[in-house]
Amino acid sequence: MTSSLFSPLELRGVRFKNRIGVSPMCLYSCQDGLATDWHLVHLGSRAVGGAGLVITEAAAVEARGRISPADLGIWSDAQVEPLARIVRFLEEQGAVSGIQIAHAGRKASTKRPWEGGGKVDAQDGGWDDVVAASALPFGSRYPRPRELSKNELLVVKQAFVSASERAHNAGFRLLELHAAHGYLLHGFLSPLSNQRTDEYGGSFDNRVRFLLEVVREVRAVWPTDRVLAVRLSSSDWAEGGWTLDDTVALAKRLEAEGVDLIDCSSGGNVEQPKIPLAPGYQVPFAEAVKRATGLKTAAVGLITEAEQADSIIARGQSDLVFFAREELRDPYFPLHAAKQLGVDLSTLVPPQYQRAF
């Protein structure tokens, strides 16, 4: 039996064996930004479980760009080999290895979720130099950031470029820039978080300028035979904020800069957004971008069933489906989905596990 979800996809010469991707999910389990055995086992088990693409959690391009003191990093050459070890294992299992690089912006220097969130104090590893598009805190429990100067924007851009070069050295074949969920790059896009009065604030053209500059410089160093993706919050779900129309307009410009894939998420830029949660509630974002551009898209958000995901691909609503919580609950979701959809498992299940399937 054929299945759209288990059909291959080729992009810039990178072949995905199926359309299932493991979304970046923060694990808050690093010291000094270094990947550990935890990351090898966590990410490796998802590759063994049959995902066509496995993306690391957000890796900070600067130490001050971490969400928490325990975030993954890619600001230092010392962080490359622990990541390369993971890449080698992922690729051995037939998964495309991906990494998301990010800067937390005004949501930096906070506690891990299981520690209650909110600002983390200096004695617990926090830092005072929290930076953002504008000096607007995300919420009452978050640090008050300072506005980045134009000269400092050059430093941040270079941090993204250097991180991209390290990702290449580690062997990743897909690089995703995190411009969603209220972090630094998203902070420039949305009028709710960007109140600058220079050429990086105000009009739509000005607010998208910084992301486009980062993409342009990253694409210049990221190899042409490797995939460049951008994660966007397609809507702030808040009055006066970033919208789907903005996302489509930006996606067209990102396509012109050499971006290959838009990972269509939403929210994260205001504390209490009004989100109409329902299965597949963000799929229309991926479909809208796909229809309006020549870009590939990834759909995310409350997608938990094999038939649901297969239908999204079959209808042409997106090119990939990314799973997060479902992959946390079941690292072998792709194998179970394949069995449910009647797909031949002989080439999907590792030989070590075949007797169980």
The residues annotated as belonging to the active site are 183
Length of the chain: 357
Contact between 98 and 56 under an 8 Å Cβ cutoff? The reply is yes
HSE on the CB side for 266, CA within 13 Å? 28
Query: Alpha helix (H) ranges present in 57-121?
Result: 80-92
Distance CA 326, CA 22 (A): 9
Distance CA 247, CA 36 (A): 35
How far are the Cα atoms of 28, 190, 281, 322 from residue 303, in angstroms, in the given order?
A: 24, 26, 9, 8
Phi (first) and psi of residue 257, to 5 degrees: -90, 0
Contact between 104 and 269 under an 8 Å Cβ cutoff? The reply is no
How far are the Cα atoms of 151, 275, 331, 349 from residue 336, in angstroms, in the given order?
A: 51, 30, 10, 10
DSSP one-letter string for 160-179 = HHHHHHHHHHHT-SEEEEEE
Phi (first) and psi of residue 81, to 5 degrees: -65, -40
Q: Which two tokens stand for residue 295?
A: 């870009």
Query: Alpha helix (H) ranges present in the chain?
Result: 37-48, 80-92, 150-170, 184-189, 204-207, 209-221, 244-256, 283-292, 306-314, 325-329, 333-340
In 1-134, beta strands by DSSP E: 9-11, 14-16, 20-22, 53-60, 72-73, 96-102, 131-132
Distance CA 255, CA 293 (A): 8
Query: In one letter, which amino acid is 228?
Result: L
